[in-house]
Structure formats: C-alpha cells, structure tokens
Structure 1
Amino acid sequence: MFVGYARVSSTGQSLDIQNEALVNAGCEKVFAEKLSGRSMKDRIELANAIDFVREGDTLVVTRLDRLARSVGDLHRIIETLTEKKVAFRCLNQSGVDTDSSTGRLMLAILGAVASFENDIRLERQREGIEKAKLAGKYKGRKPTVDPDRVRELHDNGLGPAAIAREMGIGRASVYRALAA
C-alpha cells in the first residue's frame, strides 16, 4: 500500500498540490498537516503516518523537505521505516527511495543539502536582523517590565517576591530590573 504524507509550513498555504500528486501516485491514504518542518516535535500527522504503515507499505512524499529539514530527523524517520520494513519514496526527486543502495545514497545526499540550505537561510536571517538593528529598524519586543516602578517598590521596602506579585511579573524579571 502506498501511504502519502503532505506538509506545508503555515496555515495560509495550501496542501492541494501535494495531495493531488500523492493520490495520482497511487497513495490510498494521505496524512497531511500545516506545521513547520524544522523538527519532528508536534508533527502529529507524521507520527500517525509512521504508526499507520505496515511491512511492505511505502511512505511517499512529494519532496524530501516535506518530510524533514534536518539530516538527523531524516535519518531517524528512515531508520524507523526500515525497522518496520516500510519503503520510502520521493516523487519530485526521482531516485530518492530506500529500495536501492543508489536511492539510499541520494536520500543521504539530498538530506544533507536540505539541512545545509536551512542553515544558510537561518544565517541570512540573522544577518538581516543584525543589519536592521544597526540601522535602528529592529528594536525587538517592547519591554513588559517598568524598571523605574520596580526600583520604586524596592526603595519602599518590598522584596523581589512581593514586587513580582504586585506587578504580575516573574521574580527573575525583578532581579534583572534591579541589576540594570
């Protein structure tokens, strides 16, 4: 049995193209979700798909990055499928499967490339944030603690726990405000 797995990163994106491709490839059941692929955490439909497949089945995705964004996650998923004697196939990256040694090699190489691309994207994002900070356009989150009020309460004899209760903030925030 071919079992499909489709994923998009946000709720505003559509799963239609992936679902259609998986059904056209012969998938009798498709698991789909709208969730970031950065880690396997909270990916309930992926867990359901892996739990659903049985020996002799094939898990199918349209693109490798729909399954995993890190080499570690990819290898864990493939290892789990292999232990269950379940094959894996990727539609848009032909030759990426677990049926042959060449397919497994391609899987490892493309997994490493996907992880590399993710690292590059995060690096560019960090660089953009730094540039925006230097230009004064990125200021971060607005402060939620008024340090002057914390100092005022402290000067009036209240301890950190009492100040935290009074202001509805964490005690660690009180200590940071007093240290600043």
Structure 2
Amino acid sequence: GCTTLFQETAPGHRTHRVQLENALDALGPGDTLIVTRLDRLARSSRDLHNIVARIEARGASLKSLAEQWADTSTPQGRLILTVLGGLAEFERSLILERTAEGRARAVAAGRRMGRKPLITGAQHQEALRLAADNRTHLEISRILRVSRSTVSRFLARNPQD
C-alpha cells in the first residue's frame, strides 16, 4: 500500500498544526493514521476524541505504535482509548493543580519566581543615581555592564522622582 509520512515540527500545545491537518485531509476510507505516541497527537482527551472523530468521519482508523491498545479499528480499542484518554486528562489536571499549589506556597513563603534580576542590588542604586545625573541609558548600560534594553526596562519599572 501507499505510505505518506507527515512530521510536525510545531510544539504540541499549538492549536493549529499544519502537518496534522495535512495528514487528516489525506485520509480516505480504509486508511490508517499511525502515530508514534498518542501524547504526540493530542493535548487532551477532548482533543484526542475530536481527532478520532475526524479520522472516523473519513472512514479511516487510528493506531499508535507505543500504545498497542490504541487501535480504533476495533470496538475494544475504541473503548480502551476512551477510558485511558479520560484517565490521562484527569492525571494532567491533578499535576496542574499540584503545580499551582506549590507555586502559591513558594510565593507565600517570599520566594521570587522567574529569572534572576539582571541588575543586582548594588547596580540598582547606581543605575538610579546615574539616571538622576542625566546619563543616557547607553552610558548607564556600559558602566553597569548590562544591555541598554535591560537598563531601559529597569528604569521604566523604577521611575525617579
């Protein structure tokens, strides 16, 4: 039979994936879409079910190489896919919930989230002093050995009186 390979390079969280659309559009009756893993195909069980519905509407089926049970050409495969897809989405929601709780605890404990500041405490005062002396952002950036845009962002967030 004919084999066509579609390879997506966009991240899975993107809503519009060109190669996935091309693969689904290329399916005809009796065709099988084979994926390496289900988590590479869909982001949630709802997404998976929508994709499977589109595949079946074209008279085709879905098979996963990593998950042998994921085979929509059989009633058992469709049932297992539905149940395990729901469990995976439930697990993902628990992970997101725990992550949010951990982040909230860290913030409550006074931990700063995100990247470390590019302008340190000593540079902070020096940048404000130099700006008060009407030095340009470029001059300040060279003195502090940081980029001009870092100085501009810092001074925009810390205006002088």
- Does the alignment reach a TM-score above 0.5? yes
- Category of TM-score, reference length = shorter chain: 0.5 to 0.7
Note if 1:31 corresponds to 2:33.
no
**Which segment drifts farther, 121-130 or 75-84?**
121-130
Q: How does 1:56-75 map to 2 (within 5 A)?
A: 56-75=30-49
Asked if the contact 1:69–1:111 (Cα under 8 Å) also holds between the matched residues in 2, the reply is no
Asked if the contact 1:38–1:70 (Cα under 8 Å) also holds between the matched residues in 2, the reply is no
The CA RMSD over aligned residues, in Å, is: 2.2
Report the Cα distance in structure 1 between the residues aligned to 2:85 and 2:71, rounded to whole angstroms: 12
**Residue 87 of structure 1 aligns with which residue?**
61
Give the match's secondary structure for 1:98. Answer: coil
Q: Give unpaired runs (5+ residues) of structure 1.
A: 3-27, 143-180
Asked if the contact 1:89–1:97 (Cα under 8 Å) also holds between the matched residues in 2, the reply is yes
Give the match's secondary structure for 1:31. Answer: coil
Report the Cα distance in structure 2 between the residues aligned to 1:32 and 1:128, rounded to whole angstroms: 36
Which has the larger share of strand? Answer: 1
Aligned residues: 116
The structural deviation recorded for 1:139 is 4.8
Structure 1 residue aligned with 2:16, among 26, 34, 42? 42
Note if 1:130 corresponds to 2:113.
no
The structural deviation recorded for 1:105 is 0.5
Amino acid at match of 1:120: L
Report sequence identity in percent: 41
Return the index of the structure with the highest Cα Rg: 2
When the two structures are superposed, what TM-score results if normalisation uses the length of structure 2? Answer: 0.63
Amino acid at match of 1:114: A
Q: Give unpaired runs (5+ residues) of structure 2.
A: 118-161
**Residue 77 of structure 1 aligns with which residue?**
51
